[in-house]
Each structure stands twice: as structure tokens, then as C-alpha cells.
Amino acid sequence: MTYLKKGTKEFKMANLALFAAAFIVFANLYITQPLFPQFSLEYGVSPTIASLSLSLATIVLSISLILFGSLSESWGRKRLMTFSIFAASLLTIALAFAPTFEILLFLRVIQGFVFAGIPAIAMAYLGEEVDPSSLGIAMGLYISGNSIGGLSGRVIMGTMTDLFSWQTGMIILGIISLLVSIYFVWALPESKNFVPRKLELNGLSKSLVTHLKDPGLICLFGIAFTLMGGFVTLYNYISYQLVGSPYNLSAGIVGWIFIVYLVGTFSSAWFGSLSDKFGRHKVLFIGIIIMFTGALITLNVNLLLKIVGIVVFTFGFFGSHSIASGWVSFRAKKDKAQASSLYLFAYYFGSSVGGTIGGIFWSMWGWNGVIAFISAFLITSFLFAVILFVLSKKAHTKLEDHLQY
């Protein structure tokens, strides 16, 4: 097999192309998040209902991931990713012209479907095409595109809402996404190690079941669900706290607070590099603990300390996600796209569940309730990581015994 190796032109182009694809998906996925208070005011809906503009997109995305991952095993990686990013960009422009909140939600459902063409396939592409010794840093760079995209979508929407309108922000972001999509098509190298196969539903379903029988993968899926559930819950409802008393910040200022996503760009790449040197277990444990620490810091009423808490929380999340997502591609010995799809199904299903239920905790108990809810998710995530560590130790011991024999 011919792998993309660190330091080569092809490795750089592939990483930049997938960074661009991640940028498009996450910029467009999270554009509605800073607009929840605006939707509540403009359409007269509760925080929980306003959050559906994100939760519906993520839950459809989570279900569609399995379909796109399976289709890519037959139709090819680059072709489906190209369709996904162009369709997502055009739908963002269409959102600006939605006459009612119900139609906006309908368009977000369709958008959630096409979003799925990037995440699972991109991870499978990296797992197939990148040299194993460089996979950690490559996956980290891809995940960093998530943070830059999420940041850009939120900042653009918050700023445009203050200066013009959220509809103007949708149009601008859609045009930017179309331009980035063109770059992606030009820059991404064609797959060299991909072997297409016929689309056989029985075979695909068997491969999915095989992955679900691996307790290590189950733990990674559980980590994805709980990490993302906690992460999205914090970002969904921090806007409500910051636009209300005693802070009374504008939508534009709140949007700029999301610039803390930049720390995720650093931590995802850095954690990936650390995992190549010190092992995945240690780095994952540290990442979850950092998230928990950041969540507790946000309980402080002081605005500066609250922002520091968000920074720490975000740093830990992107680092942890980088480790867990790369681990899936490493652990799954075949049908990597399906394994990645299942991981991301859990990831985005956690986003939908946590992001929606968190609204109930916000309405009933305020920010303390939100942090209690997030803490429960993070403790569960840590327990999954402990189980994964034990399973890996047992597997390593069995391998040593076999080699000695």
C-alpha cells in the first residue's frame, strides 16, 4: 500500500482539503446555536424548541452517517464528500429565505442529512490513506477544522445579526462555503488504498453488527455520546445566560465569545501528537478531567472566570474527541467507514439528546442545573474510558502470552 506520509506535498494537501471540508460542515451545522435567544424572541418559542434548529440537524446527521459510510464503501470517498459539501452550502443560503420557523426546521433536517457525507467518510479516508505513524497528527488536524468551522459559523452569525440580520449572515456563510468547496475538490488526492465493493445490505449489516460486538468500540461510542452531549449542552445554553442579567450582552458579543474554539484547534492537534508519543489512554483521561474542571469554573458569576471555564472546557473536549475518534479508525481492522459512522452516530445522537434535555435543566434550575447535567455526562465518559483501559490491558496481556507461546 502507498500511504500519505508526514512531510510530503500530498500529505499536506490531503490534510488541508479535509480541514476545509470540516470547516464547511461545522460552520454550517452550528450557525443556529448563537441564534437561539433571537429565535425565542422573534418566533415566541421556548429555549428547548429553539434548540431544535440544531438538535434536529444533528439527530438526522447521526442517522444518515451510517448510510453515507456504507455508500462510500461502494461509491467511493471523494465523490460523496463533494456532493455533501456543495449541497450543505446551498442549503445554508436557502435558510435565509425560510418564511417560517417550521420551514427553517425542515431545511435543517435536509441539511443534517447531507452533512453526514463528510465526517464518517473523512475519518475512513484518513484511516486508509495516511501512514499509521502519522495518523494521530492527521486526525488532530482534521478535528481542528471542526473547531475553526464551529467558531467561524458562530462568530459570523452573531456579528451579522448585530450589524444587519441573521438572514444576511446565512447568505454570506453559504457563499464562503461554496468557495471553500471548490478548493476541496481541487486539493484532495484521489484514494489509492480504497477498494470498492458491491453495495450488499446483508454484508453491510453484518459488518455493523461485528463492530457492535467489540466491547472496546462500544466504550468509544459511549465516550462519543457523553462528551458531545455535555459539550453541546454548555454551548446551547450559555448564550441564554450571557444575554440575560447580570451580563446583558448582545448577540454579536456572545458570538465573539465562541472564539475560544481556537483553543480546540490547538488541543486537537496537540493531543493527537501526544497520543502518538505517550499512548491514547493517558491523554484521554487527562482530556476528560480538563473538561470537568472547565465546567466547574463556569459556575463562577464573574464573567472573566466564566469565559476562562469555557476555554478550559473547550480545550479538553477537542483534545479528547481527537483521541477517541482516531482510536476508532485504529481499532477497527476492516470496514472502517462503518466503524467511524457508528462512532459519529453516537457523537451526534449525544448532541441531540444532551442539547435538548439540557434545556429542561436550564428552565428548571438555571446554570447550576446545566452544569450538574454536564457533570453526569462527563463522569459517565470517564467510566467508559476506564473500562476501555482495562479491556486494552487484557488484550495486550493475551498478545504477549501468545507471542511467548
For the stretch 298-327, pLDDT in tens is 999 999 999 999 999 999 998 999 899 888
Q: For residue 299, which phi and psi values (nearest 5 degrees)?
A: -70, -20
- HSE-CB at 243 with a 13 A cutoff on CA atoms is 22
Separation of first and last alpha carbons in the chain: 31
pLDDT at 18: 92
> Are the beta carbons of 174 and 156 closer than 8 angstroms?
no
Residue 5 scores a pLDDT above 90: no
Question: Hey, is 333 helix, strand or coil?
Answer: coil
Per-residue pLDDT at 64: 87
Measured between alpha carbons, how far is 31 from 323 in angstroms, rounded to an integer?
26
Domain ranges for the chain: 9-189+203-404
Which residues 6+ apart lie within 8 Å of 86 measured at CB?
Answer: 178, 181
Range 384-389 average pLDDT: 94
Instruction: Give the closest residue to 345 by CA, choosing from 200, 144, 211, 234.
Output: 211
Dump pLDDT digits (tens) for 318-357: 899 989 988 887 787 777 767 877 888 898 899 999 988 9
What is the 8-class DSSP label of residue 336?
H
- CATH, range 9-189+203-404: 1.20.1250.20
- The burial of 83, by beta-carbon neighbours within 10 Å (0-12 exposed, 13-18 middle, 19 or more buried), is given as middle
**pLDDT for the residue 331:** 81
Place of cell 483534545: 319
Per residue in 49-58, pLDDT (tens digit) is 899 999 999 8
All 3 cell numbers of residue 120? Answer: 464518517
Which is nearest to 149 in space by CA: 21, 318, 238, 16?
A: 21
DSSP H or E segment with residue 237: helix 215-243
pLDDT score of 136 more than 90: no
Mean pLDDT, all residues of the chain: 86
